[in-house]
Structure 1
């Protein structure tokens, strides 16, 4: 179950809701780091060209 589904299931329970919102923030930050790394590596490959694999 995704964090968003868990948040939606927590209607009326603010403490749990705040916990899941914090977890969503942590997960989003982690995903952002991963995407930035992939983007930077892709840009580097694009600038350097693909290695000759023959």
Structure 2
């Protein structure tokens, strides 16, 4: 089993920043897509939300 090394401080800050942005981005994209008129728009915003989860 490999031991895990801690993140360098500068990477920890960047990771925390990205997590904060995605916690806003994901539900925002879902709700924005929900209020759109068409199913295609909604699905597009869901795909954007999924992409935020994968970053």
TM range (shorter): 0.3 to 0.5
**Which protein, 1 or 2, shows the higher relative CO under an 8 Å CA cutoff with sep ≥ 6?**
2
- Structure showing greater radius of gyration is 1
